Chains A and B, each alone.
Chain A
Amino acid sequence: MAHVALADKGQELSHPKTWVGMYVWSQDHKVIGIQYIITAIAVGLIALVLSALMRLQLGFPGVFTLIQPNEYYQAVTMHGMIMIIFMLTAFFLGGFGNILIPLMVGARDMAFPYMNMLSYWVYLLSVLVLCASFFVPEGPTGAGWTLYPPQAITEGTAGSDWGIICMTVALGLFVIAFTMGGLNYVTTAFQARTRGMSLMRVPLSVWGIVMATILGLLAFPALLVSVVMMTLDKTLNTSFFIPAISSFGESTGQEGGSPILFQHLFWFFGHPEVYIVALPAFGIVSDLISTHARKNIFGYRMMVWALVAIGGLSFIVWAHHMYVSGMNPYFGFFFATTTLIIAVPTAIKVYNWILTLWEGNIHLTVPMLFAIGFIFTFIHGGITGLFLGNVVVDVPLSDTYFVVGHFHMVMGVSPFLVLFGGIYHWYPKLTGRLLNDTMGKIHFWVTFLGTYAIYLPMHYIGILGVPRRYYAMGTTEFLPDSVATVNASITIAALIVGTVQLLFIVNIVWSLFKGKQAGSNPWRATTLEWQTPDTPPKHGNWGPELPIVYRWAYSYSVPGAKEDYIPQNEVPSENSKHEEST
């Protein structure tokens, strides 16, 4: 089937004429992507500060007197929700998705630029509503990022009046924003690819982002309905999730609802959400490794099918978050089996990343360091997931610091390393300048080693039995004093890692003015975004003619070729016919 590039049909793109039209109410996917990234970083910094407050409390209880118990639980909640939804999801899909999809598939813009713009502004609104909850009476909700009712809406939790409503409204807005953006990403990737860009020639970054978006489009509605139902339980005293209970000795007047129903809905969203963050990281890291190892990604087709398989399976594993929730324990057999099956396609991805390094020509650039760091942290976080996915092994570890260590390694540190690597990699395309190498290396080493010093010991105090979400341990007989020592050392490591992130922000700003000129393709990469006529690419990306694609995205070190890379759109010469047929 011949491809029709949507952007080249019908009317021309309307170019903005004012500064405001170009940078504020912009419909250019690259500007929208940058808007997403700046907002996500800003809100991520709030979450970072919250984690520092929590760590000071946990590492030195009673010393700093910075936060009261209510504020601790509020910090726990906001840190988690911001990082997962408003930072990582928004960054990978709204940020990288926006910037990379049209450039990598050879489109002039997203399929629906106006809706794309709207998506960002609704996202910003959701962030503002979320941040507003810091200023309402009692502050934000302290229900934990999982927002389990009845606790989220009963009196014993901080922010159970105003805070929780701000949260549900912010989440509702986020889902709307995501849906508008997500429909765009999928439509663009499937319908606006340029001539020659068959699905099996699309770079893995796009595959990862698109698969994650499809998961999001299917999973976020479950979150939306659950927060709507909970809002009704709160405001109209309906009983979707609330059975007959006695809150502080007084009946709430509700009966018949099921708290477990909320958990099923939440995790039907929540588990795919893990992959919504992970799959773009998988895709991006594949491209980083391939480019900087100057070698084709190993087993491209298997990588694509592994992404699809992981995405599909992620919808039938959700209840592994609920092994000790009180649901029928027989479900454990099914969900443990499906969960461990996911390990197979995931392991294939890890093998293929490493096998891409095998017989490569590895350039240890800053993006490559982050990519290698990611493989290490992801292996670590992945195998601890095998503990928690296997129902009976999960039982003693569930709700302890083992879980905190696990998910921070697998969906905190790992995606963040890819996110940083991606910024170091693509920053030159967006600005024309390279990020500073020395600052980049310091950022990498402190982050990589520091986070391991934070999270490795957490697994072990979790096995010992230290529960998560405790403002203070108080006197607990089975815990040796060494637990307090390790908690203090974790806090110190966390403060160092947190501080070095400021260096990263300094680097971004400094390099904007002082960074080395990058040229159009500093990494000598094959994919289309590096072949634009202008750097940074102008509105419309490609000048008068769309690029035509002749080969897959991984023609590195092809035997007989003059250079060690052949751009996807380079016209094949006579004597390179033997080249790949993919």
Chain B
Amino acid sequence: MAIAIIIILLVIGSVIFHFMSPWYFTELASNWGAIDATVTITFVVCGIVFVATNLFMAYCIIRFRNKSKDQRAKYEPENKKLEGWLIVVTTIGVVAMLAPGLIVWGKFVSPPENAAIVEAIGQQWQWSFRFPGEDGELGKVDAKKINIDNPFGMNDEDPYGQDDILIAGNEVHIPLGQPVKFLLRSKDVLHNFTVPQFRVKMDLVPGMVPWLWLTPTRTGTFEILCEELCGIGHHTMRGKVVVEEEEDFQAWLAQQPTYAQLSAQQPGDAVTGKALYAVCSACHGLEGEGNQALNAPKISGQEDWYIKRQLSYFKHGIRGANPQDTFGQQMAPMAATLADETAINNIAAYIQSLPDKPATQTVSGDARNGKKLYVTCSKCHGKQAKGKWAVNAPRIAGMSDWYMATQLKNFKQGIRGAHPQDVTGRQMESMVLSLNDEKIDDLIAYINTL
């Protein structure tokens, strides 16, 4: 008896939960309202089945539960007529869900002719984007051509590629009301391009180019999530789609570099950089060896792309703006004195030329435990902790260990990496959740052995 009552309560509870629950689709931002409609139809049909079958079952239990010793069930092996009717009714219900579904899918498989082309590129664990440029054609790419100077794997010999607009960041803009066909390319493993507000999603598959299309219907910034497990940093693989008015979009696009412009960029000049470095040397030391007393970490031996990015972050208030980040706040005004990107490039080039001596080790902990913890870190920072440019992961072996301990704590507490534009810092933030002070010491003790 209790089971029948509980089933009735569960049915009523589920229906109430469905209507009262604060969790349902996010507000739609694309043309795919038809998808929401098919979901609603499915909810109605399935909801009726759910309520009807369960309530009937509960009724059977209440009415035909054993009440006395003499009670006998009815002997009825089959009832062809009833079974026939149930098949017919079920089939009608199925058709009522399938038919509209297939009609909407028919729209999904036929993108409009005038759809603009944008390529979304996934790699472990970042997004980048490419527009075809003035000629309207994307140039050829090849995974084997990917290297630190050509992260998109562009084919130099393809004339169509020269005017391609390359967006190395994780944020892409698209114009409101314009159908867009996203071509999806992966450099390494499976990924998935999902923007919940757009409803449609599709995997990125290396070796082929899947696609999806949509027409954005409201302006705003929407988060891109990877929804196909792609390794240890899967949950940190986020991007942004900004939907804006046509003129804003054109203004944004005009600022983005083409492949030809990027290839023509000059490398930094260490000689000019040396003069600029004089300011830095006051804290970081003449040879960039660092000075714990002044809270200045070792910077010699660090990858130049990392130094450039951090200087740029400090300069633009992306890092060092949080009032709890005392030393970051000291660094920010120093970086602000650098005039432009050329100055940053030059200084980074000079730091690269400094001799690299291992930093003094100050942190002690259980390195054996640290080794286990380091499995996650090793995926980006490398088994030898030398860093990997492809994942924006700096070198950590042989650098100032006290500094790393501070930074890990800052990441965990959201002091560093919370700024929305600090893409890689934000990734670190959700990788260090399960570290505590003791584990951080163990981890660094292990890194010190590398």
Contacts and interface: CB of A to CB of B under 8 A. Distances in A.
B302 interface: no
B14 A299 contact: no
B105 interface: yes
A144 B42 contact: no
B405 to A, nearest CB: 16
B252 interface: no
A396 B199 contact: yes
B356 interface: no
Interface stretch (B168-176, B186-194, B267-275, B394-402): B186-194
A249 interface: yes
B78 A299 contact: yes
Nearest to A357: B60
Contact of A392 (B64, B108, B435): B108
B102 to A, nearest CB: 6
Interface string A236-249: 00000001111111
Given A336-B105, A478-B223, A348 B83 contact: yes
A364 B143 contact: no
A492 B412 CA distance: 24
A582 interface: yes
10 contacts: A73-B234, A156-B124, A244-B144, A256-B207, A260-B208, A329-B109, A348-B83, A392-B38, A400-B227, A460-B21
A354 interface: yes
A358 B192 CA distance: 48
Interface string B70-113: 01111111110011001100110010011001101100110000
B280 interface: no
Given A344-B94, A359-B74, 17 more contacts: A70-B232, A73-B234, A138-B375, A142-B232, A150-B206, A300-B77, A302-B83, A333-B105, A336-B98, A357-B61, A391-B105, A457-B23, A467-B235, A469-B234, A471-B433, A557-B75, A559-B75
B23 A399 contact: no
Interface stretch (A42-50, A105-113, A166-174, A380-388): A380-388
A150 B187 CA distance: 11
B197 interface: yes
A344 B190 contact: no
Interface size on A, as a range, is 35 or more
Given A330-B109, A336-B98, A392-B101, A379 B60 contact: no
A483 B375 contact: no
A554 B77 contact: yes
Contacts of B210: 326
Contacts of B430: 471-474
Given A144-B229, A369-B3, A558-B75, A324 B202 contact: yes
B101 A364 contact: no
A358 B412 contact: no
B146 A251 contact: yes
B3 A472 contact: no
Contacts of A146: 229
B38 A390 contact: yes
A299 B83 contact: yes
Interface stretch (B49-57, B289-297, B319-327, B341-349): B49-57
A150 B190 contact: yes
B109 A472 contact: no
A29 interface: no
B225 interface: yes
A503 interface: no
Interface stretch (A59-67, A188-196, A424-432, A508-516): A59-67
A522 interface: no
B379 interface: yes
B205 interface: yes
A157 B77 contact: no
A148 interface: yes
A67 to B, nearest CB: 6
Interface string A380-410: 1001101100111101111110000000000
Contact of A326 (B25, B38, B45, B203): B203
B431 A69 contact: yes
Contacts of A355: 79, 82
Given A324-B192, A332-B109, A357 B64 contact: yes
A556 interface: yes
Interface string A297-339: 0111110000000000000000000001110011011001100
A399 B373 contact: no
Given A298-B76, A463-B24, A474-B235, A258 B207 contact: yes
Contacts of B53: 350-351, 354, 379
A154 B64 contact: no
B10 interface: yes
B385 interface: no
Contact of A246 (B39, B46, B57, B188): B188
A151 B190 contact: yes
Given A151-B190, A474-B236, A357 B76 contact: no
A260 B228 CA distance: 13
Interface centre among A154, A249, A250, A456 (most CB of B within 10 A): A249
A279 B254 CA distance: 60
Contacts of A336: 98, 101-102, 105
B229 A362 contact: no
A347 interface: yes
Contacts of B331: none
Interface string B11-41: 0001001100111111000000011001100
Contacts of A350: 53
A41 interface: no
B233 interface: yes
A463 B23 contact: yes
